[in-house]
Amino acid sequence: MKVALLGTCIADMFYPQAIESTYKLLKRQGVTVDYPEDQICCGQPSFNSGYFDEAARVAKHLIKSFEKTEYIITPSGSCAAMIRDNYPRLFKDDPQALEQAKTFANKVYEFSEFFVKVLGVKDLGAKYDAKVTYHHSCHMSRLLRIKDAPVELIKNIEGVEYVELPNNQDCCGFGGTFSVKMADISSSMLNEKIENVKKTGAEILVGSDLSCLMNISGGLSRQGINVKTMHVAELLDRGLQ
C-alpha cells in the first residue's frame, strides 16, 4: 500500500516529532510513505477568518500536491476535518473544482482513523509505563466523529494506565483565532481543561490535534504543572523504541 503524509503547518513548525513518528509507524506496517515537498497549509486559518478566496487558492494547491495519491494520512483531526467538511463548501459554485475537492477529501484520513479503520490495526505492540489521559479535540470528535480509535490505540499499549478525562467533550479554548479574539473566554475554558487534567493524576496528556496540545501545554507550564503532552503517534512510537 502507498500513502502520502500531510504534515500540517503546526507539526512542521512546532512538533516535527509528530510527523516523524507518524512516518515511522506507517513504515512499520509495511506501508510505502511519500511526503510531497510542495505541500502547504490546508487553508484553515484563512477559512476561519472569512477569507474564502484565499482559502480556495490554498486548497487548490494542496489538492494538486496530492493528486496522484490513493491515501493521505495526517496527524491532525483539525486539518482532516477542514478538508472533508469545508473544501466542498469552498467550491460549491465550481463543478469541476468541487469534484476534485470531493475526490481529495475522500482520500484523507486522520492518523488513528487510518490505523484502526483502514489497516485494521489496534495494537502496535508498544510498551510504555505511564498514567495517561486523552483530550478529545472538537474537530476530531464533533466534525470527524472519531473518539474511539485513538483511545483504543492508547489502551493497547502495554504498561499504560488509561484514565478518562472528566468532561472530555469540552473544548480546550484554542480554536485558532478564537483564542486571540476571545482571550478571556478562551483562558477560562483552558483553566477548566487543566483542572480536569489535574483530577486524572495523569503523567501524560495525549491528543490528536497539536494546536490543542500546544494550548494546553502552555497553560500547564504557566501553572507549573508537571504533565507532559504528546501526540498519540509520538506515544506509540516511543513505546516501540
Grid coordinates of 210? 497539536
Give the per-residue pLDDT at 53. 96
The predicted model gives 29-52 an average pLDDT of 95
Task: Give percent above pLDDT 70 in the chain.
Answer: 100
Give the per-residue pLDDT at 179. 87
The ranges assigned to domains in the chain are: 2-117, 122-239
The Cα 25–Cα 234 span in angstroms is 9
Average pLDDT, the chain: 96
Sheet strands (E) in the chain: 2-5, 32-34, 71-74, 108-110, 127-135, 158-162, 204-207, 228-231
The Cα 4–Cα 155 span in angstroms is 27
Answer whether residue 221 shows pLDDT above 90. Answer: yes
Residue showing cell 503547518: 9
Give the per-residue pLDDT at 216. 97
* pTM, 2 dp: 0.94
Helices (H) and strands (E) in the chain, counts: 14, 8
Say which CATH architecture domain 122-239 belongs to.
Answer: 3-Layer(aba) Sandwich (3.40)
Contact by Cβ (8 Å): 113, 149: yes
The Cα 8–Cα 136 span in angstroms is 19
Give the per-residue pLDDT at 140. 94
* Tens-place pLDDT, residues 174-187: 988 888 889 999 99
**Phi/psi-derived region of residue 174, left when phi > 0, alpha when psi is between -120 and 50, beta in every other case:** alpha
Residue showing cell 513548525: 13
* Tens-place pLDDT, residues 18-34: 999 999 999 999 999 99
* Tens-place pLDDT, residues 75-124: 999 999 999 999 999 999 999 999 999 999 999 999 999 999 999 999 99
Which candidate, 65, 75, 78, places its Cα nearest to that of 24? 75
The Cα 192–Cα 166 span in angstroms is 10
Give the per-residue pLDDT at 238. 98
